[in-house]
Amino acid sequence: MHLTPRWRTFRKGFTGSAILAVIAVIVPGTAAVSNAAAGNTYYVAPNGNDSAAGTQAAPWASIARAQAVATAGDTVYFRGGTYAYTRATTACSSRTARVDAITLNKSGASGNPIRYWAHPGEKPIFTFSAMRDDCRIKGFNVTGSHLHLKGLEVTGAPQNNNLNAESWGIWISGSNNTFELLNTHHHMGTGLFINGGGGNLVLNTDSHDNYDLRSSDGPGENADGFGAHYTPAGRPANVFRGSRAWWNADDGYDLISTYSPVIIENSWAWRNGYVPGTTTPSGNGAGFKVGGFGADYDAGAVKHTVRFSVALLNKSQGFYSNHHPVANDYFNNTGYGNHPNFDMRGINSSGASVGRGNLRNNIAYNGTATANMTGTSASHNSWNLGLPLSDAQFQSVSTSGWDAPRQADGSLPVLPNLRLAANSTLIDKGTNVGLPYQGSAPDLGAFEQSGGTPPPVRYEAETAPAVCQGTIDTNQAGFSGTGFCNGNAAVGAYAQFTVNATTAGTTTLGIRFANGASSGAARPANLVVNGSTVAVVSFESTGAWTAWTTKTLATSLNAGSNTVRLEPTTAAGLPNIDYLTL
């Protein structure tokens, strides 16, 4: 059994080291056609013909035909309407076999993904509810890498017998893919399931109303909103950002049995663990189930991170360590009305149950606050500080509206729910964990008090769609995220970011770097924006590879998606690059 990006607004400006650790990431909503990168453009429509030219006037009918033609850097637009599937690509070899309705096994390239996007302003719906294959069904089976799926609705993957645990809306074993603005729902199993792939970004995506009525484990035991399982050690982190999971019969997010890190940020989970739309109990019912290997100790366990996220009204735990052998990080989260809100049950090498978790700046309100905390590292949380909690601490404690439409850029709706009131005593009561804050200290919970100007947007060098033509390393302390880009003396090394500008014009970039070269020499690099060199940037010595600093510079960007690349101009290569802010 398996961030809006978080706007952290500023009353008194950045404090301490906060300017070096901005966490929000903004990605546009359905982009205009002109925002796609250079490459061929193709079209698919429900009334198309696979013998046609694949143009806007003569679209193809199927994603399979588009995949056969598209190569790295190309974009395939899907016109609005329903794409209904009735049979898998292959026959079931047994009643417990796995088959695909759609197989995406052709990869793009680093920095040049193949894009499968909704046509601007339209809603393509891929439905599998009419499939009658008598075995396990994957709606989308994504084995390719460097792909970008955006704006698609995916629904109805069925279970047609009760010999299997589940089917899946979207199954992902490829790596370095982006899944953006997807709406995956009403599957007899998990909505989006990562199994083996690394470096995938699930961005501003919803998964809801999944219920495995027919299941070998019993109804409702395996229908999660999102899953990330079985990724081998050493692969880059899979990231869930700005995503929502609700009315899933089992868990909202489930991270069992994975040997590479997972980061969940700016995400919400509510009313999981019930038959969708009812109060009838069903599966496990955790909002965020963060790790675990059954109830066994596994020495290969790695740390996962959940931050700036909300769990409310789930049947069981809001944030649950699920017998995980190592301490996960839980920073700036809000649990409301869960049972309990934070359950840190871990396991030690002797198989004994112990508390496992690093908890800072969290709020637990309504319902049981915590469980299994002995052995954890927990401070500056609402239950540690002795502060009185009441509805008056918040702008609203409404439990409705969490599924409201997203903002125009695809980010989460801005609600008053569980945001701190202007006079809340939870403001400035947190501790600095290297993430952005305002005032004298971070506020508690998932949201800062509203008001002010949004902070810069941060893009990590190790997280797709960023490209490091070098190595992703972790051997120099002080970096953020899960690593940094090392282009030191690498032939052809570069660091490339794909960033979004809300409007065209001049903007300020911040590049966090470290240059500890023993020579003390600067490392210059060309700043290449959208394929054109616009400046030469000198990255001076910082004195040590663990001494990180930020260089700011102004440049002009287009509205929408832009590529920003740093190319070294000497054989010494780049400094170590941690992230870029915009």
Catalytically active residues are: 289
487: Cβ contacts below 8 Å, ≥ 6 apart: 468, 469, 470, 493, 494, 495, 568, 573, 574, 575, 576, 577
- Among 417, 564, 450, 457, CA closest to 28: 457
At 342, is the secondary structure helix, strand, or coil? strand
The whole-angstrom separation of Cα 229 and Cα 292 is: 10
Q: Nearest 5°: CA angle at 260, between 259 and 264?
A: 120
- Tell the residue number behind the tokens 């509510």, with chain if given: 270
- Tell the residue number behind the tokens 């079985």, with chain if given: 230
The whole-angstrom separation of Cα 490 and Cα 486 is: 9
247: Cβ contacts below 8 Å, ≥ 6 apart: 208, 209, 210, 271, 272, 274, 276, 277
- Among 245, 359, 262, CA closest to 311: 245
Q: Which residues are registered as beta bridge partners of 488?
A: 573
For 199-261, give the secondary structure using H, E and C: CCEEECCEEECCCCCCCCCCCCCCCCCEEEECCCCCCCCEEEECCEEECCCCCCEECCCCCCC
Do 203 and 561 contact (CB within 8 A), yes or no?
no
The whole-angstrom separation of Cα 169 and Cα 194 is: 11
- Tell the residue number behind the tokens 């469980």, with chain if given: 371
At 35, is the secondary structure helix, strand, or coil? helix
Do 196 and 426 contact (CB within 8 A), yes or no?
no
Tokens of residue 530, six digits: 């959208």
Do 497 and 459 contact (CB within 8 A), yes or no?
yes
